[in-house]
Amino acid sequence: MLHFVVVGILVIVTAILAYFGVNILWPLPLAASAQAAPIDWMWNLQMIAISFLFALIVVPMLYSLIVFKRKKGDASEGEHIEGNTRLEITWTILPLIVVLIFAYLGAGTLADTRRVDPNAMVVKVTGFQWGWKFDYPEYGISSNELYLPVNQQVLLKMESRDVIHSFWVPEFRVKQDLVPGRVTELRITPTIPGDIYKVRCAELCGTSHAFMENPVIVVDDAGFSAWVAEQQALAAGAAQTPEGRGQALSVANGCAACHSIDGSGGIGPTWFRLAGSEVQLVGGATITADDAFLAESIKEPQAKIVAGFESQQMPAYGFTDEQIADIIAYIKTLR
């Protein structure tokens, strides 16, 4: 009987210590969305249960290992206990009830994260290898940065251009895959303004999956209106010049995911000081990166491959000749 009392006390003490330990060892990131609250509540409840169950198994196990350890030279056997049906039924039924309760609560918290605000702002999200594009149909602007007004629900309508991607901002908690050929949805209500967030692709999507991260910026209403106005003005101005239209096309198609504009390395050749430079091709030949070469490289990426970039094929984009001329005009400004 003494054994049970000691173990019982130790289980309770260990469970409490384990719960504090878990909170130190496994902190959650900042909770910055309305959807994070029910998820964090559920997580905390699970950690309480886990700490208790951990203690319930580990304490009697370690206790047995110490107290019932065979002494040197002792050849006797343990006590002959074959089992106890009542005990077995207890530790089948009780966990069953607990599990059903947790599943019920899990469904409830899931429903909380799916709560619909009919006035939610729609943002169209496009994922591609390897970047993100955000269209704001209400304002007619698109961006590679996701600007969100604080405390307002946003409905993300998400599409993928190539393979499966997954939208995840750790501080917002919720996650949803982007599946080619269909539109998936996610609702987020950001609660804390800031520019520390990033949307990080959570589903393996190929070579540069690790780098498929774009900034997410949460601003107050005034800040959001200012950003929208600024973007609309920029877009209107840019549409007047070829290099402006080229830059817009580059943003919309995520060219910078592979071709850097500042000379840093990437999956494809950098655009910085590219126009007019001497380029070494696979096979040893060199060629001047004139308009004809750049146009061909956009239209038929496999026609001439720059040395050092053999292992990754660029997809075809189907631009018109005018669009290609605009993009080349933009590339020429990068020096």
Q: Is 279 in the site for other proteins (CB under 8 A)?
A: no
Entry field: residues in the chain: 335
Using CB under 8 A as the binding rule, the residues of this chain from 110 to 129 that contact other proteins are 110, 112-114
Q: Is 206 in the site for other proteins (CB under 8 A)?
A: yes
CB 284 within 8 A of CB 308: no
Q: Residue 75 Cβ, how far from other proteins at the closest point, in Å?
A: 9
For other proteins, the binding residue among 2, 70, 73, 116 (CB under 8 A) is 70
Q: Name the residue among 109, 197, 120, 105 with its Cα closest to residue 151.
A: 120
Using CB under 8 A as the binding rule, the residues of this chain from 159 to 188 that contact other proteins are 162-164, 166, 168, 170, 173-182, 184
Q: Is 210 in the site for other proteins (CB under 8 A)?
A: yes
Cα 1 from chain centroid? Answer: 53
Cα-based distances in Å from 221 to 148, 151, 153, 156, 261: 9, 9, 13, 18, 32
Owner of token pair 């990437």? 266
Q: Which stretch binds other proteins (CB under 8 A): 55-63, 135-143, 144-152, 238-246?
A: 55-63
* Spatial distance between the Cα atoms of 169 and 32, rounded to a whole number of angstroms: 10
For other proteins, the binding residue among 73, 118, 265, 318 (CB under 8 A) is 265
Q: Is 103 in the site for other proteins (CB under 8 A)?
A: yes
Total Cβ atoms within 10 A of residue 60: 17
**H or E, element range at 42:** helix 36-67
Nearer to other proteins, 99 or 316 (CB): 99
Using CB under 8 A as the binding rule, the residues of this chain from 6 to 45 that contact other proteins are 25-29, 38-39, 42-43
Q: Is 99 in the site for other proteins (CB under 8 A)?
A: yes
* Spatial distance between the Cα atoms of 233 and 140, rounded to a whole number of angstroms: 11
For other proteins, the binding residue among 119, 286, 311, 320 (CB under 8 A) is 311
For other proteins, the binding residue among 1, 2, 5, 69 (CB under 8 A) is 69
Q: Which stretch binds other proteins (CB under 8 A): 95-103, 223-231, 271-279, 286-294?
A: 95-103
Residue 138, token pair as written in the block:
């209400």
**For the chain, how far is it from start to end, CA to CA, in angstroms?**
83
For other proteins, the binding residue among 5, 73, 82, 119 (CB under 8 A) is 82
Number of chain positions touching other proteins (CB under 8 A): 90
